[in-house]
């Protein structure tokens, strides 16, 4: 007994002496249970601390990689414009010196309002006849050739006259447009990653780490992220993802109306301070410098596409092809979103969607006047129009193969063919369990908007009929788009 007792005391002393040290500890069958439990608990704490430190290092590494990508893009842009010591830069054309600043501004505006992707032949492809090309028609997405013609016509109608010929004649000026467009996209993605926690309004109960949006994080294993991208029971990523709908309830009449998308648009267009209810500082950014005061169909499609990207497990945004991890073809997704919005632009439901974005981002419901009814009760004929469009796409499309259509060499990342619209064929309304998306700050509804008095801006008060320039080479044809002028203090 004496010998056994002596060994136990000796084991306990060794455990006590070595506790907290890095030296390996040796135990025997006679080591007291309380000593073993104490040491085990210490080891568990050490392991948890080590895992937390490793995760922090991985997240920091991911953030640094994000920053490196942004700096590399900026460095490439600056290098192309760098001037050698003691003389002028012979690589900078006269057109770049004369129009460079304007081109940078318009390339950013093109990104925010029209397209987050750049067709490589945008300024080299022949201008289509303006009398035959309607770039807002659904035929835009019928094939690659039609899409390219529409992209060229759209940018020609979008840009001011004094930049038309220089961009088509000077390759360096066109390259500046493309590089600044790419830099704008990189900055937009970085802002969504940086402010993702606020945009999604994650709470401590969601157990989402602040670095989850960065490169080094494995988002494929985050169930809450996946719930925004995949419907329950689905294994693949679909264009009509839960993130597009309020509270992740699939309803064609409510597509693109998730408040998360409003907040993302606010961060992108006005800056992160715009999310603060007491701050108005953000309204001096894009609105002031670029004159953007309302969204377009391309804006909403771009917001949805980039939000899906930052939720995805992909680390880099593919300007052509599919995401390396997710297999998502982001341009196919974007083209589907823009197609829906353009094809139903005259429906009350889509007009209300546009007005909701303008109201929640800019505080002014452009396009809201003349609308009647609540979108939740719905104008049945308008909702049916959207549902019919989606159903046609479902019947024409390959429901399991997202990118089956071929790609034109003239496009940097071509659009899907008409028979390749990846829209889910699930039920019209599908519930996905999970937290509400609306517990941050209730978005303004159309019904609420009608109780607000809108200041009538000069551009909307001019006339109830707005003339729109036709694409170049068709200047003799002027399209007239009928719009209703808003009135200040309009009664409900």
Least confident of 275-289, 290-304, 317-331, 455-469: 455-469
pLDDT value of residue 150: 93
- Digit-coded pLDDT (tens) for 390-421: 665 554 443 333 433 333 333 543 333 333 33
Cβ atoms of 304 and 123 within 8 Å: the answer is no
Task: With CA atoms as reference, report the closest residue to 147 among 133, 167, 130.
Answer: 133
Greater pLDDT, 477 or 314: 314
- Digit-coded pLDDT (tens) for 14-48: 544 444 444 456 667 777 878 878 888 888 777 87
Bridge partner residues of 431 (DSSP)? 249
pLDDT value of residue 374: 42
What HEC string does the chain produce? CHHHHHHHHHHHHHHHHHCCCCCCCCCCCCCCHHHHHHHHHHHHHHHHHHHHHHHHHHHHHHHHHHHHHHHHHHHHHHHHHCCCCCCCCCCCCHHHHHHHHHHHHHHHHHHHHCCCCCCCCCCCCCCCCCCCCCCCCHHHHCCHHHHHHHHHHHHHHHCCHHHHHHHHHCHHHHHHHHHHHHHHHHHHHHHHHHCHHHHHCCCHHHCCCCCCCCCCCCHHHCHHHHHHHCCCCCCCCCCCCHHHCHHHEEEHHHCCCCHHHHHHHHHHHHCHHHHCCCCCHHHHCHHHHHCCCCCCHHHHHHHHHHHHHHHCCCCCCCCCCCCCCCCCCHHHHHHHHHHHHHHCCCCHHHHHHHHHHHHHHHCCCCCCCCCCCCCCCCCHHHHHHHHHHHHHHHHHCCCCCCCCCCCCCCCCCCCCCCCCCCCCCCCCEEECCCCCCCCCCCCCCHHHHCCCCCCCCHHHHCCCEEEECCCCCCCCCCEEEECCCCCCCCCC
Count CB-CB contacts under 10 A for residue 319: 14
Q: What is the mean pLDDT of residues 274-302?
A: 79
pLDDT value of residue 171: 92
* Residue 76 pLDDT exceeds 60: no
CA 103 to chain centre: 23
Instruction: Give the pLDDT band (50/70/90) at residue 130.
Output: low
pLDDT value of residue 137: 86
Distance in angstroms (rounded) separating the CA atoms of residues 240 and 340: 11
User: Rounded to whole angstroms, what are the CA distances from 400 to 252, 264, 300?
Assistant: 20, 29, 25
Cβ atoms of 99 and 166 within 8 Å: the answer is yes
- Extract the tokens encoding 154: 């759209």
Q: What is the mean pLDDT of residues 326-330?
A: 94
Greater pLDDT, 134 or 435: 134
Domain ranges for the chain: 2-72, 179-458
Tell whether the torsion through CA atoms of 122, 125, 129 and 134 is positive or negative.
Answer: negative
The rounded percent of the chain whose pLDDT value lies above 90 is 37
First-to-last CA distance in the chain?
94
Distance in angstroms (rounded) separating the CA atoms of residues 260 and 311: 12
Cβ atoms of 320 and 331 within 8 Å: the answer is yes
- Measured CA angle at 178 (ends 143, 160), to 5 deg: 85
* pTM assigned to the model: 0.65
**Mean pLDDT over all residues of the chain?**
72
């Amino acid at each position: 007994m004496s010998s056994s007792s002596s060994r136990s005391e000796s084991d306990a002393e060794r455990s006590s002496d070595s506790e907290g040290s890095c030296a390996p500890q040796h135990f025997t069958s006679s080591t007291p249970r309380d000593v073993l439990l104490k040491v085990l608990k210490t080891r568990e704490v050490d392991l948890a601390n080590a895992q937390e430190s490793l995760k922090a290092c991985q997240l920091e590494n991911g953030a640094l990689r994000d920053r490196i990508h942004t700096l590399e893009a900026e460095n490439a842009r600056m290098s192309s414009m760098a001037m050698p010591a003691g003389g002028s830069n012979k690589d900078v054309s006269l057109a770049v010196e004369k129009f460079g600043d304007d081109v940078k501004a318009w390339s950013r505006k093109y990104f925010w309002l029209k397209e987050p992707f750049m067709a490589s032949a945008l300024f080299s492809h022949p201008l289509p006849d303006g009398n035959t090309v309607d770039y807002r028609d659904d035929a835009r997405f019928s094939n690659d050739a039609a899409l390219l013609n529409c992209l060229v016509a759209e940018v020609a109608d979008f840009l001011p006259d004094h930049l038309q010929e220089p961009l088509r004649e000077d390759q360096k000026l066109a390259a500046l447009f493309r590089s600044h467009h790419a830099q704008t996209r990189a900055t937009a993605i970085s802002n969504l990653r940086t402010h993702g926690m606020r945009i999604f309004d994650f709470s401590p109960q969601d157990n989402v780490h602040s670095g989850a949006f960065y490169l080094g994080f494995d988002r494929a294993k985050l169930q809450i992220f996946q719930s925004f991208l995949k419907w329950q029971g689905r294994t693949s990523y679909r264009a009509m993802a839960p993130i597009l709908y309020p509270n992740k309830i699939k309803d064609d009449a409510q597509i693109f109306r998730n408040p998360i998308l409003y907040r993302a648009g606010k961060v992108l267009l006005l800056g992160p301070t715009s999310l603060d209810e007491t701050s108005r500082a953000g309204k001096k950014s894009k609105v002031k410098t670029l004159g953007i005061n309302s969204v377009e169909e391309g804006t909403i499609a771009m917001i949805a596409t980039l939000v899906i990207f930052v939720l995805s497990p992909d680390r880099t945004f593919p300007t052509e092809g599919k995401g390396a991890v997710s297999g998502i073809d982001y341009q196919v997704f974007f083209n589907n979103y823009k197609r829906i919005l353009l094809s139903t632009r005259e429906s009350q439901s889509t007009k209300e969607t546009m007005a909701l974005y303008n109201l929640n981002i800019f505080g002014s419901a452009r396009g809201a006047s003349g609308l009647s009814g609540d979108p939740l009760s719905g104008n049945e004929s308008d909702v049916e129009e959207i549902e019919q469009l989606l159903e046609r796409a479902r019947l024409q499309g390959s429901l399991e193969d997202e990118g089956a259509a071929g790609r034109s060499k003239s496009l940097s990342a071509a659009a899907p063919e008409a028979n390749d619209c990846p829209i889910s064929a699930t039920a019209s309304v599908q519930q996905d369990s999970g937290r509400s998306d609306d517990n941050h700050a209730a978005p303004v509804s159309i019904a609420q908007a009608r109780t607000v008095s809108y200041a009538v801006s000069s551009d909307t008060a001019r006339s109830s009929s707005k003339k729109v320039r036709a694409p170049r080479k068709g200047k003799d044809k002027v399209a007239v788009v009928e719009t209703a002028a808003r009135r200040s203090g309009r009664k409900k």
